Amino acid sequence: MSGLLSEWHVNPCVEDRLVYENVALVGATGAVGSIVRQLLEERQFPFKTIKFLASARSVGTKLTFKGEQHTVEELRPEAFEGIGLVIASTPDEVSAEFAPWAVERGAIVVDESGYWRMKENVPLVVAEVNPEAIEKHDGIIASPNCSTTQLVVAMKPLHDAATIKRVIVSTYQATSGAGVAGERELEESSRASLAGQAYANTTFAHPIAFNLIPQIGSPKHAGYTSEEMKMVWETRKILNDDSIRICPTCVRVPVTNCHSESILVETERKITAAEARKLFEKFPGITVLDDLGAGLYPLPLSCSGKDDVFIGRIREDLSFENGLAFWCVSDNLRKGAATNAVQVAELLVHSKAAV
């Protein structure tokens, strides 16, 4: 982690000041919310009190956090009274309704939905890439789409060193990106297919077992899908550079967890594979696994459950002079969602202590 993210952990002189008195986790019982709870505990996030909020169907659920049992409360305006920080993982329409409730009551919301990401007055933040953007919030800070998050982490050291002009990215996105239902459909349909039985898919538009689906999201712009256009718009906003040309293709694959991306960048000056490897190795949040002869490169199975962005297959492009190609894998539920949100919350804690 960078100094901004880690200073409150390692500097005991400021530890007592780095506390949000009251924290709320919205969507606490969901797949991403469960990981947020785990990370808050593992990373010893500083707070005095915490409450867990969810939809009416989850109210009354008992959750164990830091050895104590908590009862899930209903997501309603009054639940945010006295709350200083909210970390939220909900559908867009839920976030659109509740986030203003929290802000009106003085809270800062770190939101993982897609609703606020492209709003003009809402910073879109990846902790390692543009931490300074948190200072521009008006109460809401957005965390980007999972496929965008790992892309911009991988792009940032190259962009800083040689200015990226163009990106061609093909994603291989796990079924966990469609939630628990997506994971279940992959498992159940795979069993059915192996047994020679029929299976009626409901989560995906086409069978996912032993198949690839080259559409994630709805038709959006010039033949691109909503998922693909998120990568275009969000990447430009995070890197604060509308001149970057981005051509994405997003594909759903029969993998349970971790999104993979094949990335080709064109830079203003040539970056050799050796230089790129050093840039990646020095950058916080990136782990390089790159030994083709030894069969060492990032795999969804080996990267699942980890917080870094993993990069391998680093090589110079054969088709034009200033091209660089590489392979990138990241846990879409962790760094692509929960981990980044917690890291942004840690930045807020640091920012508060610095005031």
Q: Which of 249, 61, 72, 76 is nearest to 171 (CA)?
A: 249
Cα distance between residue 250 and residue 227, in whole Å: 7
First to last CA, the chain: 22
Dihedral sign of CA atoms 339, 153, 113, 227 in order: negative
Cα distance between residue 262 and residue 327, in whole Å: 5
Say which residues have a Cβ less than 8 Å from residue 106's Cβ, sequence separation at least 6.
Answer: 83, 84
Strand order across the 164-173 sheet = 245-252, 164-173, 259-267, 323-330, 309-316, 286-288
Backbone angles phi, psi at 121, to 5 degrees: -95, 15
Q: Please report how the helices 339-354 and 3-10 are oriented relative to each other, as an axis angle in degrees rounded to 10.
A: 70
The answer to whether 152 and 240 are in contact (CB under 8 A) is: no
Catalytic residues, by residue number, are 146, 259
